């Protein structure tokens, strides 16, 4: 009897892991996760400044590429 119980637990864990891999690969899920993380991190000033610097650099790079 304990072997059957153990097998059910392992089977459930494998199914959960498979589902997590499927969901993690979904682009919409990734965007929402990133949005949530950024929203949480924006509470800290240093992170906000780093994100602003990153956006400025991306805009400058895009403008430079557009000139060529």
* Helix, strand, coil distribution of the chain in percent, nearest 5: 90, 0, 10
> Tens digit of pLDDT for each residue in 14-47?
898 888 887 777 788 778 888 888 887 777 778 7
How far, in Å, CA of 42 to CA of 65, rounded? Answer: 29
Domains in the chain: boundaries: 2-67
How high is the pLDDT of residue 66?
A: 78
Name the pLDDT band for 58 (thresholds 50, 70, 90). Answer: very high
Residues 6+ apart with CB under 8 A from 60: none
| 3-state SS class at 43 | coil
């Amino acid at each position: 009897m304990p072997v059957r119980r153990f097998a059910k637990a392992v089977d459930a864990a494998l199914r959960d892991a498979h589902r997590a891999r499927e969901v993690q690969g979904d682009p919409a899920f990734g965007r929402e996760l990133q949005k949530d993380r950024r929203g949480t991190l924006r509470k800290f000033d240093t992170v906000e400044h780093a994100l602003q610097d990153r956006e400025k650099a991306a805009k400058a790079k895009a403008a430079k590429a557009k000139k060529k």
